[in-house]
Amino acid sequence: MTNPLDVSDAAMKALDLLSASKAGANDGIVSVCSAKFGKTIRDDFPWNHLDEINLLFGIKGTFAPDPVAAYRQHANRLKLQGL
């Protein structure tokens, strides 16, 4: 569970359990293996898929990093590399 106020956590956990038997570790929808493109810097964020895309009003885990800030940091890293 990422946040007690996030009603989608239970559904995402159920999807995680269903798909983990077929595709391995996942965020509730996308397998970890399918989500990697190029060099992986980090893949251990404590988010489910809906947290990652900031879908439910920005609700995320209490101590989890802000997904928007993480994506901005990554975009800036790519920009500085000229990509």
6 is catalytic: no
Q: Are 47 and 2 in contact (CB under 8 A)?
A: yes
Other Cβ atoms less than 10 A from the Cβ of 53: the count is 13
Check 6, 9, 44, 66 and give the catalytic one.
66
Q: Which residues are catalytic?
A: 66
